[in-house]
Amino acid sequence: MSISFKGRVAIITGAGVGLGRSHALGLAARGAKVVVNDLGTAANGVGQSSDAAQSVVEAIRAGGGEAMAHGANVTDADQVKDMVDQVISTWGKVDILVCNAGILRDKTFAKMELSDFASVVDVHLMGSVIPTKALWEHFRTQQYGRIVYTTSASGLYGNFGQSNYGAAKAALVGLMNVLCQEGGKYDIRANLLVPTAATRMTEGLLPQKVLDLLRPETITPGLLTLLHEEAPSRMILGAGGGCFTETRIYETPGVAFADDELDPDTIWSRMAEVRAESGQQVMPGAFDQTRKYAAMAAALRGINLDEK
């Protein structure tokens, strides 16, 4: 095995079942000490039990690995702090954070209660922010951290009846983009995993033949790739059925309009040019886009931005 996590300590949220369980077993198999975090709720976030997390811990220990369970609610900062404190007290550090906990409360936007919208955003977004915040200074101090957030095609592309889930998952793209910039000099690398898996969240939504192909175990190798010492940062890795892709957000070259052309009729008449894909590029950061627009506008008006 060239990729090893021996000596590394990993916290995985939502690790009692499905993808999280597979991730925990995969990390442990390659030498990591694993914290199995799971509140033990149903797919809609109702109920609570430690049985699932403890079962994963026992499976890891049976295979000769080291693991502990913790039932922290990822939306509760005090509980998450308690988990982090216990792990550092026991194993001295944390190197890896995998945010996988999630719930579903699907309904069309017209029928969805605001409380169900807020609950899903809280678990998926704040349930990723809070564990990250609890570990951020620790990662900065030790000059090392590997973070993977679990997003979804529902957030990147949309899915009928999942406005709450899609909004929460899309927000993780913004979180990752900023943390990659702020954590880069401390060797903190953050990435996104976009899994399509047969889990309790997808049961009943896909034919059984498709579910059989999309076992969680076909996705975990991609996660492990995003967590090793030489992993990339700011990658959106799609995974499902042993297939892996990269999603990138591109911006078209665009069109600069003169002052006397700045009206919706003119812009609409040239919308095909605005949307033309030839020459599109990935923006490294927000100010790269700002500089691009300033350069285009200046060139159109004959302004030399280098002159003081």
Instruction: Say if 214 falls within a structural domain.
Output: yes
* Domains contained in the chain, number: 2
pLDDT in tens, 261-302: 999 999 999 999 999 999 999 999 999 999 999 999 999 999
- Which amino acids are annotated catalytic? 165
Considering the domain architecture, whether residues 189 and 288 belong to the same structural domain is answered as: no
From 230, 247, 264, the end of a domain falls on 247
Considering the domain architecture, whether residues 107 and 122 belong to the same structural domain is answered as: yes
pLDDT higher than threshold 90 for residue 42: no
Residue range 68-85: average pLDDT? 97
Instruction: Say if 2 falls within a structural domain.
Output: no
Could you tell me the strand order of the sheet in which 33-37 lies? 67-70, 33-37, 9-13, 96-99, 145-150, 188-195, 236-240, 243-247
In this prediction, residue 202 carries a pLDDT of 57
pLDDT higher than threshold 70 for residue 43: no
The whole model's pTM is what? 0.92
pLDDT in tens, 199-222: 555 566 666 777 778 889 999 999
In this prediction, residue 215 carries a pLDDT of 87
Considering the domain architecture, whether residues 195 and 275 belong to the same structural domain is answered as: no
Mark residue 234 as left, alpha or beta (left: phi above 0; alpha: psi -120 to 50; beta: remaining).
left
Considering the domain architecture, whether residues 170 and 275 belong to the same structural domain is answered as: no
Considering the domain architecture, whether residues 268 and 219 belong to the same structural domain is answered as: no
In this prediction, residue 198 carries a pLDDT of 62
Residues spanned by the domain of 183: 9-247
Instruction: Say if 170 falls within a structural domain.
Output: yes
In this prediction, residue 214 carries a pLDDT of 81
From 232, 247, 262, the end of a domain falls on 247
Considering the domain architecture, whether residues 96 and 222 belong to the same structural domain is answered as: yes
pLDDT higher than threshold 90 for residue 54: yes
Instruction: Say if 24 falls within a structural domain.
Output: yes
In this prediction, residue 199 carries a pLDDT of 56
Segment among 64-73, 190-199, 236-245 with least mean pLDDT: 190-199
In this prediction, residue 201 carries a pLDDT of 56
Considering the domain architecture, whether residues 155 and 44 belong to the same structural domain is answered as: yes
From 229, 247, 265, the end of a domain falls on 247
pLDDT in tens, 115-132: 999 999 999 999 999 999
Instruction: Say if 135 falls within a structural domain.
Output: yes
* pLDDT-based confidence at residue 191 (cuts at 50, 70, 90): very high
CB 305 within 8 A of CB 294: yes
Residue range 229-258: average pLDDT? 96
In this prediction, residue 51 carries a pLDDT of 84
In this prediction, residue 49 carries a pLDDT of 62
Instruction: Say if 4 falls within a structural domain.
Output: no
Q: What is the mean pLDDT of the chain?
A: 93
pLDDT in tens, 142-153: 999 999 999 999
Considering the domain architecture, whether residues 163 and 283 belong to the same structural domain is answered as: no
In this prediction, residue 46 carries a pLDDT of 62
Considering the domain architecture, whether residues 150 and 100 belong to the same structural domain is answered as: yes
Instruction: Say if 3 falls within a structural domain.
Output: no
In this prediction, residue 41 carries a pLDDT of 61
In this prediction, residue 208 carries a pLDDT of 76
Considering the domain architecture, whether residues 235 and 280 belong to the same structural domain is answered as: no
Considering the domain architecture, whether residues 72 and 92 belong to the same structural domain is answered as: yes
- Characterize 128-150 residue by residue with b for buried, 16 or more Cβ atoms within 10 angstroms of its Cβ, and e for exposed: bbbbbebbbebbbeeebbbbbbb
Considering the domain architecture, whether residues 61 and 204 belong to the same structural domain is answered as: yes
Instruction: Say if 136 falls within a structural domain.
Output: yes
Q: Which CATH number does the domain housing residue 218 bear?
A: 3.40.50.720
pLDDT in tens, 134-188: 999 999 999 999 999 999 999 999 999 999 999 999 999 999 999 999 999 999 9
